[in-house]
Amino acid sequence: MAINSYKKTIILTSALLGLHGCVSNGGSPGNNGYNEGVPFDPSLTYPPYYEDPVTEEPVFEDPVNEDPVNEDPVTEEPVLEDPTPIPADPEPVIITQHDRLKIQTWYNNGFTGSGVTVAVLDSGLPDETGVATYDVTGAANYALAWNGLQEVQIEDDSGSPFTGVSGSSIHGDHMAQVIASKEQGIAKDASILHGVISYSGRASQNGIFKGMDWSLNNGAQIVNLSFNYGGFTVVRDGLESQVGVNEQDLKNVFQTIDQKDYVLVQSAGNYAENLSLKVVDNAHFSDAILLNNYTFKDKVLIIGAAYYDQPECTVCLADFSDYPGDRVELQNRFVLAPGENLLQDGGVTVGTSGAAASVSGSLALMKQRWNHLTGPEMSSIVLTTADQTFAGYDVFYHGQGHVDMEAAFSPIGEASVPFEGASYEISSLSASLPYGFESVSYSASFVDAYNRDFETVIETNSAQYMSPVNGAVNQTASYLSNNVKSLDFAPGHSFMFGQNSMDSARIEMGSQMAFLSDSGHLFSGLGELNNQAMGYQFNGSNLNFSLSGSIPLNTGSINDLTGLGFQAKVGTPLLSLKASQYMKDGLKNFDKNEALYSSMIEAGTDLKGFFAKAQWINDVQDGSLFIQNQSVQTQKLLAGYQGQLNDVKFGFSFYQEESDLNLTVNRPVSLEQNGTLTNVKETFTSSRENKGLDISVMAKNFTAMAYANDFNKGAYIGYQGRF
């Protein structure tokens, strides 16, 4: 391609791009800020009148006499009633760009764009005094200071700088106001990096490319380009040798820009045109958004302008706004934003220029909140959360919908919690407390599909209550075998059926075999958990001792011993001491901080069937993932009676207990608010009080038990026989 024909193509397609905002510097409320007021009609200041039927002269009504009158009954003089005061017109409700974009959630959480730099590539700043209402940061070796504000002059095609002297377009100043002015700006604490690429309201492709390169080299994270869309047309790969040096340089600059991380917020244009019919896509040149082998397309947001609350639509494409048309590449990057944006000086900017600037300010809030987000991620969040629920939504005109920053502040995709190189569901943060304990709640962080951290409150739930009697029921078979004074100890089996108010029907079955020795007996059997139980028990006059364990039947190896229990009792009926210990992991893990174990110390007396006991119980349940463990310390007092009438054994007991629970959690928190979570070990407490009554009857091979307490009640019946 000849150089001249290429230049002609560029000029026709994208060489000169017009600024977008149709700006007013202050219009009064009477003319809505557009300097379109209706000429004042002095006749409207006169009171209503009518013509005298005789003279046909106009007779002006007395506004006072229009009010109802009464005559004084003595003087017959008219008495004027006080007119009812006319209520003042309510103050108009001004709906700003902040409201349309739903920004308030970000402000409520303290985000104002602090620490984020937005480049405004546009016309110059005004040279009037008193306009330093936002922070403008420029590179020291490029900067030109005006009234404390700094900007850089980007060279135009001829190598001459654009100047922002008085009289030039101050469109760029208005864009900076929409983004970061202290009263009307979206991101009030963001820094503006101002690059002058236009003097007369038009920008060249050369200025846009160089302005982008300059702004990214000087720390811009968001670039605002409020010119009509079409400035990023580049020669296709492999054809660089067919164009001139300037075009080759522009391609090199584009490739440099493509390697940077940023978001380019580009206004669509104010020509009410279909962008799909304007975008360059031919054998030699292409719009950069169409090039799949570059990342540029993932960083671009094209912003159209929206109007609101019209008779035909609540969210409307402004009649002047360009729209994406039928090209999917444009539809996928197009969103709507407010077509009118208030300025710091009281004016209003109308057009897709200000719409783009309002989105740039919104992105500054997002970048402050999650500074780890890349440009493609930030643009994707805006596109993914855009509102499409308004009537008449059509991707042809509205692209991905209207920007919704409230939705952009919410989690997107699957929520998860990273832990030790893996990700887990939020439910993994919760624990199940024993029934009756007060719920424990704590805050914890999680991340969404963009690795953005959020905070939620985790509420623990309560498991079904298991009273001490339930434990006694589980041990009925072993109780009978351990206490029946029979020398012909033979294999036996047991069956237990029960129901309580917290649980479904319960059935337990097991079998046991014992072997006598000089001082006690060894035993083994099949337990309810399909484990093989085994152990040793010694019964002496003043000392009882037992040791037991269980092995899963599928292994049968001593190395897989999963439970290890120990119990010792010493003393006399007048005073006895009892201690027991049970460890879930048995021989495999004696670390009490990690294993489930239960310890009990008991002191009591037992005289003629009457007994009284005090127990101190400590149960520790090992956790998984984020729940390290939970422990329950219980102090229990109980008293009752055990007796026998003929072959029937019976007993009852009253008890009262107080328990304290400690829940230790590896709580994930976000310390830097950048998507990185840190686990902080914390312990939360809860408490429970309970009192109840137990009754049991045993006759030959049958056992019946019933209980009631503050949380539960139930009854069980069982049978034990011998072969």
- Whether the CB-CB separation of 206 and 133 falls below 8 Å is answered with no
* Cβ proximity of 385 and 407 under 8 Å: yes
Q: Is the model's pLDDT at 532 over the cut of 70?
A: no
Q: Mean pLDDT over residues 448-466, rounded?
A: 82
Average pLDDT over residues 669-694: 88
Residues 289, 330 contacting (CB under 8 angstroms): yes
pLDDT at 61 over 60: no
**663 closest CA partner among 617, 638, 705, 631:** 631
How many beta carbons lie within 10 A of that of residue 566, not counting itself? 16
**For 312-332, what is the mean pLDDT?**
96
Cα gap 395→400, rounded to integer Å: 6
Judged by DSSP in three states, 711 sits in coil
Task: Give the pLDDT of residue 133.
Answer: 33
Mean pLDDT of the chain: 75
* Average pLDDT over every residue of 285-296: 94
454 confidence band (pLDDT: 50, 70, 90): very high
201-210, 335-344, 516-525: segment of lowest average pLDDT = 516-525
DSSP 140-164: TTTEEEETTEEEEE-B-TTSPBP--
295-306 tens-digit pLDDT: 999 999 999 999
One-character DSSP codes across 109-137: TT-S-TT-EEEEEEE-----SS---SEE-
Greatest mean pLDDT among 456-460, 465-469, 481-485 lies in 456-460
Question: Residues 590, 563: contact at Cβ < 8 Å?
Answer: no
Q: What is the mean pLDDT of residues 690-698?
A: 89
pLDDT tier, 245 (very low <50, low <70, confident <90, very high otherwise)? confident
Residue whose structure tokens are 């902040």: 98
pLDDT at 628: 83
CB atoms within 10 A of CB 478: 20
Residue 575: predicted pLDDT: 87
Q: What angle do CA 649, 651, 657 make, to 5 degrees?
A: 150
User: Is the distance from CB of 493 to CB of 466 less than 8 angstroms?
Assistant: no
Cα 505-511-513 angle, rounded to 5 deg: 160
Q: How confident is the model at residue 585, as a pLDDT?
A: 58
Of 83-87, 505-509, 601-605, the range with the highest mean pLDDT is 601-605
- The residue type found at 598 is S
159 dihedral zone (left: phi>0; alpha: psi -120 to 50; beta): left
Better-predicted residue by pLDDT, 267 or 41: 267
- Residue 501 confidence (pLDDT): 63
The better pLDDT of the pair 334, 723 is held by 334
Q: How far apart are CA 90 and CA 324, in angstroms?
A: 40
Q: Which residues contact 441 (CB under 8 A, 6 or more apart)?
A: 457, 458, 459, 460
pLDDT at 453 over 80: yes
pLDDT (tens digit per residue) in 613-628: 999 988 887 777 888 8
Q: Which residue has the higher pLDDT, 148 or 447?
A: 447
Rounded to whole angstroms, how far apart are CA atoms 649 and 700? 9
Strand pairing category for 117-123 and 191-198: parallel
CA distances from 489 to 523, 584, 701, 721 (A): 10, 29, 15, 12
- Residue 472 clears pLDDT 90, i.e. is over it: no
**Least confident span in 113-117, 225-229, 328-332, 527-531:** 527-531
Question: Helices 205-217 and 245-258, interaxial angle, to 10°?
Answer: 40
Structure tokens at 335: 């969103």
The 8-class DSSP code of residue 415 comes to: -
What gap in Å lies between CA 524 and CA 714, rounded to an integer?
Answer: 30
Q: Distance between CA atoms of 545 and 170, rounded to whole angstroms?
A: 94
User: What φ, ψ does residue 158 adopt, rounded to 5°?
Assistant: -85, 0
Q: What CA–CA distance (Å, rounded) separates 332 from 222? A: 19
- pLDDT exceeds 80 at position 584: no
CA distance linking residue 430 with residue 96, whole number of Å: 42
Stretch 326-350: mean pLDDT: 93
Average pLDDT over residues 455-468: 70
The percent of residues in the chain predicted with pLDDT above 90, rounded, is: 36
Asked if residues 715 and 708 have their Cβ atoms less than 8 Å apart, the reply is no
Say whether pLDDT at 13 is over 80: no
Least confident of 87-101, 136-150, 218-232, 562-576: 136-150
Phi and psi at residue 117, to the nearest 5°: -110, 125
**Rounded mean pLDDT, 154-183:** 64
The number of angstroms, rounded, from the C-alpha of 311 to the middle of its chain's C-alpha atoms is 36
Average pLDDT over residues 529-546: 67
| Residue type (1 letter), 337 | A
